A and B are shown apart, each in its own frame.
Chain A
Amino acid sequence: MTTFVDIGALSDVPQQGARVVKTVQGCIAVFRTADDRVFALEDRCPHKGGPLSEGIVHGTSVTCPLHNWVFDMNSGEAQGADEGAVRTYPIRVENGRILISAELMARRAA
């Protein structure tokens, strides 16, 4: 069973925006949609390493700021003609706080 750790308030992440969480496994992008859902994705585009956290968030998709690859935040899969995926991590909101999988505190992915 996944255990969760508090990383901040929902209001710390702008709607249709993202913030970064630093982990030993690399940077994680924490996204908040227009309807207050949150997603956690590896903050590194498989194409050229662009920071997805700086992309434009639309619906439950995000566009990489470097070359416009579009990722579905549910699956981490690249959309359209582009092929590739980023890792996704368990994340949820409770009482206005964002909780992320505690495995990210480990030195290596479980």
Chain B
Amino acid sequence: MKKKLVVIGAGMASGRMLEQLFDAAPDAYEVTLFNGEPRGNYNRLMLSPVLSGEKTYEDIVTHDDDWYRANGVDCRFGEPVVKIDRKNRIVYSNKGGAPYDALVIATGSAPFIIPVVGKELPGVVTYRDLEDTHAMIDAGVAGKDAVVIGGGLLGLEAAAGMAARGAKVTVIHIMGHLMERQLDPAAGYLLKKDLEKRGITVHCKGATKAIMGHDRAEAVLLEDGTVYPADLVCMAVGIRPETRLANDAHLEVERGIVVDDAMRTSDPHIFALGECVEHRKQLFGLVAPLYDQAKVLAKTLLDQAAEFVPVQTATKLKVTGCDLFSAGDFAEGEGREDIVFRDPGRGIYKRLVLQDNRIIGVVMYGETGDGNWFYGLMKDGTDISEMRETLIFGPAFQGGSKLDPMAAVAALPPEAEICGCNGVSKGVIMDAVAGGACTLDQMRACTKASASCGTCTGLVQQIMAFALGGEVNEAPAGMCKCSDHTHEDVRRLIKVMGLKSIPAVMQELGWKTVGGCHSCRPALNYYLLAEYPLEYKDDRQSRFVNERNHANIQKDGTYSVVPRMWGGVTTPAELRAIADAADKYNVPMVKVTGGQRIDLLGVRKEDLPHMWADLNAAGMVSGAAYSKGLRTVKTCVGKEFCRVGTQDSTGLGIKLEKLMWGSWTPHKLKLGVSGCPRNCAEATCKDIGVVCVDSGYNISIGGAAGMEVKETEHLASTPSEEETIQIILAVTQLYRENGKYLDRIWKWMAKVGLDWIKAQVVDDLENRRALVERFEISQSVYRTDPWAELSTPAETPKWGPLADLTLEAAE
């Protein structure tokens, strides 16, 4: 006689378990299947296409009536189980009982409802099953306002689905970035951008305070006071295992129903699987481990030995057009390293987290084709040290004796977009090469490929090398012809390997030239002094002439001298000293600069230390108008004089300049502080700008007014001048530590994302303090006047010629 198996819950886990059971032993059990929902098993992963209208319920049914009938399953759909009588081994539904020899509990999970006022109003729904989905569809969301609370997998799928049906959707997420359990901030940022492109508003760090409305939901109120209108509110903040039946039956329940490795509960006749169980303190929400459980339980029911071992699982978001992949652990930590690939132009981000030469985490956004390959390497614990250099490019680059980046370039179709900024395809680049463009400059001149943000430069060079039939070495993707390492790699290796001098870097990283070149040496010098401010001694000989001579060389070999005027403020005494110096050294031109300074042009090199000594004597120091470092802080007069000024912008500018002068940065750094939104100091096209308002200070970054003209983007607002200063110092240090040499802030920002910068210096107070501290450590060395150091009696002669043979010849 067949044994009786009763299953509570017709979900994906129990469905798979039944399939396995019937496959292995069709006649072992007589099965009774209870389900609260009035239907059998369907693919819950496909609810979002149903919501968005891309699929119907019929499309996603996995087990239809015929299947149940063929396998002799007694279906009790629409009959919620109310009680388990363990003593007599009978399960009772609202309609009647069913005896069992073995019982499987597969009750799944229930959505978590946050306990806020208004949660019970009509119009507030959850997103868990077909009923919820239909409720949202039936609400006729087109043109209406919908708010989704929760920016995790489910919430975003609900949001995208409703948006596809024409709703105006806002997602409220309590954390700093979307899907924080699966994504890091950078990928979260790209996802947010993509969703916003679809018209979905995303509000991160938003805590829901109440759902407002009289007889149905009308709006959602956040703790910060923001109100979003809402005809429909979908709660998707999380799930909890549905354990009520197990609890009532006094089975062992922690967060979920506790099962052993064979999926058995504390009662030997009762088993459980799916989202309702807890196995070794772990809960399960993704489908892959549930299918593993199904396999194990089917064997257990057939008295075969089987053991459930949870493995790392990967996540993909099922929102059309948002391509993301996440697996494993991607928190930063001791001994962990990252390999990161970013293509901001195309919205691509890939990050591998390594530990002991093994992948332990993968986050990908925008292009996820290689996700499963990485996932495989991670699951298998493969040692990747051999392929590390090209690992991030995926399997296409691996294999063979020599790693060949050309193969991938060759494989790209002609229409593949290479330069996202200027919309240049591979075909256009190939044509330009055929037409005679054989240097990068020529390529930029005739196609604009890589002429804007420059992130695609390496790729453009590779395609050119491919088209020209050249060797890979002729088109290095490295920082210059001396090294195949990228700037980012060199910087990371300087840190990881503890390299503390330029020769050490060149030796350890295999420089291909003897003494580097004019391109890599200044970069290395900067990276070293930024990494080791106290230990590393600035190498003047690795600096471009202007920084070496602390003056700007002009086309005739003379120099221009610019004394610092703090915040653009000067005095009659300083002006007299400048005028005297101009007279004394026959300065052919005196000019006012754009940064509110005075420029003395046409000074002979041998006169520099003498002029500096004179200016020093009048209390002035170098204006650093030549440096990849702090240049000027431009200010307006502010409320001290101006009738519309709101804050002391001049005072703040002077404070900032006094704190920051002498600091070296990846590229020049110009600041502006305006005392009111009329913005007379033009702060919004500076690298860092402050615009004062009545309530405080708006800080923005990433402006430019050179070859590129860019408006700054808002970083933070604060009522406090002190906090303004701290944020500016912190963002400067972050830029110093992370920016690629010769990237202005706007370029750097395009690579790392403003949200990431915000998270580092605005939101994370501890990190902000640490950044400011490190800035201060560096400034303890560099807040000095080079003019004073280089115009001593010992140094002065070095500015003149070594010898003058014209005199001897005359003798």
Cα–Cα distance between A61 and B516 once the two chains are bound (Å) = 10
Chain A positions within 8 Å of B522 at CB level: 56
Cα–Cα distance between A6 and B419 once the two chains are bound (Å) = 57
A13 touches B802 (CB 8 A): yes
List residues 130-150 of chain B with CB under 8 A from any CB of chain A. Answer: none
> Pick the contact of A66 from B514, B516, B517, B555 — CB < 8 Å?
B555
Which A residues fall within an 8 A CB radius of B? 5, 7-8, 12-17, 19-24, 27, 30, 33-34, 48-51, 54-61, 63, 65-66, 68, 70, 81, 98, 104-107
Q: Identify the closest chain A residue to B481 (Cβ).
A: A80
CB distance from A14 to the nearest CB of B (A): 6
Query: Taking the complex as formed, is B545 at the interface, i.e. its CB lies under 8 A from any CB of chain A?
Result: yes
Known: A22-B806, A30-B802, A56-B521. A48 touches B515 (CB 8 A): no
A58 touches B516 (CB 8 A): yes
Cα–Cα distance between A68 and B544 once the two chains are bound (Å) = 11
Chain B positions within 8 Å of A51 at CB level: 553, 557
Chain A positions within 8 Å of B549 at CB level: 54
Q: Identify the closest chain A residue to B808 (Cβ).
A: A105
Query: Taking the complex as formed, is B674 at the interface, i.e. its CB lies under 8 A from any CB of chain A?
Result: no
Cα–Cα distance between A60 and B553 once the two chains are bound (Å) = 23
Query: Taking the complex as formed, is B804 at the interface, i.e. its CB lies under 8 A from any CB of chain A?
Result: yes
CB distance from B356 to the nearest CB of A (A): 38
Query: Taking the complex as formed, is B518 at the interface, i.e. its CB lies under 8 A from any CB of chain A?
Result: yes
Chain B positions within 8 Å of A33 at CB level: 515
Query: Taking the complex as formed, is B803 at the interface, i.e. its CB lies under 8 A from any CB of chain A?
Result: yes
List residues 462-496 of chain B with CB under 8 A from any CB of chain A. Answer: none
Given contacts A16-B541, A19-B798, 15 further A-B contacts (CB under 8 A): A7-B805, A19-B802, A23-B809, A24-B805, A49-B555, A54-B545, A56-B542, A63-B517, A63-B518, A65-B544, A65-B545, A66-B553, A68-B518, A70-B517, A107-B809
CB distance from B773 to the nearest CB of A (A): 33
Chain A positions within 8 Å of B556 at CB level: 49
Cα–Cα distance between A7 and B808 once the two chains are bound (Å) = 11
Query: Taking the complex as formed, is B571 at the interface, i.e. its CB lies under 8 A from any CB of chain A?
Result: no
A7 touches B516 (CB 8 A): no
Chain A positions within 8 Å of B543 at CB level: 56
Cα–Cα distance between A107 and B556 once the two chains are bound (Å) = 24
Q: Identify the closest chain B residue to A44 (Cβ).
A: B557
B803 touches A7 (CB 8 A): yes
B544 touches A56 (CB 8 A): yes
- Sort A-B residue pairs by CB-CB distance and give the 7 closest, nearest first: A19-B802, A63-B518, A59-B514, A7-B803, A58-B515, A16-B541, A65-B545
A21 touches B802 (CB 8 A): yes
A54 touches B521 (CB 8 A): no
Cα–Cα distance between A105 and B541 once the two chains are bound (Å) = 29
Cα–Cα distance between A60 and B798 once the two chains are bound (Å) = 22
Chain A positions within 8 Å of B801 at CB level: 19-22, 27
B518 touches A23 (CB 8 A): no
> Pick the contact of B541 from A56, A68, A107 — CB < 8 Å?
A56
Chain A positions within 8 Å of B521 at CB level: 56, 58
B809 touches A22 (CB 8 A): no
Cα–Cα distance between A48 and B543 once the two chains are bound (Å) = 21
Cα–Cα distance between A48 and B556 once the two chains are bound (Å) = 9
Chain A positions within 8 Å of B804 at CB level: 21-22
CB distance from B543 to the nearest CB of A (A): 8
B541 touches A21 (CB 8 A): no
B516 touches A5 (CB 8 A): no
Chain A positions within 8 Å of B805 at CB level: 5, 7, 21-24, 104-105
Chain A positions within 8 Å of B514 at CB level: 34, 58-60
Chain A positions within 8 Å of B401 at CB level: none
Q: List 24 A-B contacts (CB under 8 A).
A: A14-B541, A19-B798, A19-B801, A22-B803, A22-B805, A23-B805, A23-B806, A33-B515, A34-B514, A50-B557, A51-B553, A51-B557, A54-B553, A54-B557, A55-B545, A56-B542, A56-B543, A56-B544, A57-B515, A58-B517, A60-B514, A61-B517, A70-B517, A104-B805
CB distance from B524 to the nearest CB of A (A): 11
